[in-house]
Structure 1
Amino acid sequence: MARKLLILLFLLSFRQGFANSILVPMDDTQSNHLKAYGIAYNTLQQNTELDWLLNYRGGSFLFDYSPSLEKECLVRGVSFEVLSTANVQAILREISDPDINMEVVRLYKAAKIAVYSPIKISLSNFEDTDAVLLVLKYAEIPFEVIYDEEIIRGDLAKYDWLHLHHEDFTGQYGRNIRRMSALDMKAQEDIAKRLKYSKVSALKLDVAKMIKLFCMGGGYLFAMCSGAETLDIALSAEETDIVSSRFDGDDIDPGAQSKLDFNKTLAFENFSLYFNDGEGYGSMSFSDINVWSGRFDDESSSYFDLFDFSAKWDVIPAMLGQNHEHLIREFMGQTSAFNKKTVKSNVLVMGEGKESHRYIYGELGLGQWVFYGGHDPEGRRGFHRTPTDLNLFPHSPGYRLILNNVLFPSARKKKRKT
């Protein structure tokens, strides 16, 4: 009996001596890329730091070993490797080679996440296909849903990270009353009345300005689809009326186009607005910022390129572009992609197609923002209003870009100033 106990103690001590780290690889050996981000976020939530190994096996994560972490990986179906100190040192030596495009980035603290969505006020299924909501739930990353009232009363200061998706900050109900449910429209009108605004467009302008201030104060803004386009349109049109009478009861300013102020926008300039029915994608486009979905002849064979940045010198875009693939399948949205001619020269392009930019980055004051064109990275033409089952796409490179953005603020050690 004593001999068996000694053997058991020896095996346990050997295991503890060997198991100093856990590597979660993010290359093609990973069984679930998306849930791996949830493992990283969960670790940060427990006030435990970890390392993001940029460009090492697809952007792998390196953790201090713990039995609970090993168990969590098993429960979530995430591939991992237990490493000795010698293994880790060999990896770090490889990464530190100045001739190799890799880098180690320490992640410190989980960002507090807010998603701006009308599901806060309406049960309409028009918004239940928000790709960020879907992937946060799938990866088991906690978030809070907020909407106009929370933003107007200043609640954005509680958060580090804000997402905008299929939104319309111009107050035109997505430029398609037929597809916007009566319940959604009434809910927005009720908020405007409750907050003493004369019309929804006036409310949305103030919301857009508060979002801009959030970013300037050090917040991280991640916008997709029409949320990215209409935020800048609303900001540029602060001094004019661009909303048709069919949406707000009064006429468009005849000189609206010439009164747009592109100095107030984050990403876009010199764009032309669409005022009339029949312009753009099924009368639903807001401006020529959008390279609409009709330009993608065959989504299944059309791709955009992720640019390759120096992990040692261009750490920010390198982090945001971590992936096991560098060709991402094109996908549609009300705003599918960004017209290259309308993107400001100081904006960093991280991914582009033949005729458009798809994935762009910028800085504003103390904060940063990323705009990602399209609605659902795994959506298909004609089916992008049906919720995607991410159990079918655990390796989605398009969804990985979203989750890169979720972890990005964790690399900032200092607290955000507001």
Structure 2
Amino acid sequence: MDDDLIDEGDTPRSRYTRLPGKGFFYPDSLDEERAERRAAEAIEGSEAVVIADGDADGLACAAMIREAYDAALDVADFEAAIAARLESSDDTEADDGVDAVDDMDDGEDDRDDPTADAHAESPVGLVSAGPYSIDTSLERVLAYADDGIDLFVCDLCPDDYEWIAEPLEALAETTESIRWFDHHQWDPETAESVRDVGVDLVVGESDEECTADVTLRSLDHEFADRWSELAAVTRDHDLWIKEDPRSDDVADYSYWAGPEEYTTVIGAYGADLPETVQAFVAERRVEKEARIDAAVDRAVAHAVGDWTVAVTYGRCSQNEVAETLREGGADAAVIVKPAGSASIRGSETFRHAHEVAGKVNGGGHPQAAGCKPDIYDDMLDYAQHWTTEGQACKRVILAAFEAVAEEVAERTDETDGTDESDDAEAK
């Protein structure tokens, strides 16, 4: 493929925000080879391994675990690398789901980057994962870890036990311990199965704690005050409380930095990011705000049952877009991404996001969920997705909203009927 076709360059924002980032066009087979190699380098020889969601919450947990093991990396190298990026006129733009400083290939420039091998340097290895790659991450730990390590899984919830059963049960036989910290809503049977293997599973209340809170109170270590402050700031963003302005900074930084960089920097500074990082975040935020505006302008409101559901499309920061749409009167917001996935955000008047996502190959929280409908069979389907701004994806998600609306109405009718029967019997 001609690089110019996926190089944003002078392409208008109205066009390139309708397309996925460059990482989408990188073949999965090559991406998997690279991910396998880097995971092996991170895991081999480690005394402990952390599998964590690659967002601010999951990586805060990784930083806490490294602190407990006295295994944090030197922050000075990362600060130097950030400063160099700020000075470089060739700095590449961060794309959704792609680390801004972690290029897809191993170029010669890595030899001048003091952080290029950071993923292999801590005695507590970090494997960044998503909810649909837990099994793969567990398999990699099984393949490359020494016997007797401590394994941690943070901020990840499997939809079903069966697809993680084999590697998890094997790891239970070879590890010293497995501890799993989370705050998502677990299926009781899945949680019981995980615990039956011998895993120390601690799940916090999803609407009261983030996983950083759970990790902080679960580790047997005397943490300095900045760690509880970091957990509070992380919670402020992860639960969308939005009372501490620093929470947007740490969330944006976790999105734009590589996992090792973010984990190291917040491990050293907590929620009060250093000036170099603040400058980096401010520079990125200019583009972020423009993408938010473009997505909000594309939004269309739909009436579904008693709810107003605003649906939009584009490469953007979904939480901020959803917040803007809620401020405009939407009970729920759907942000369909060019890569085919979608974010569903609720509000106090809509707490069924996880139910909607569950009907279209996804899951999450009552007010924040994600999904990727199984509707993409080939590149022609994706071509249609891009040129129609995700119309097929929007239709199946709106149909899921309709189904949930019917189920909620039925539950309400059943509750009302029960109340009426009870009243009749009382008389």
TM-score range for the pair, normalised by the shorter chain length: under 0.3
Q: Relative contact order: is structure 1 or structure 2 higher (C-alpha 8 Å, sep ≥ 6)? A: 1
Q: Decide which structure has the larger Cα Rg and report it.
A: 1
TM-score when normalising by structure 1: 0.27
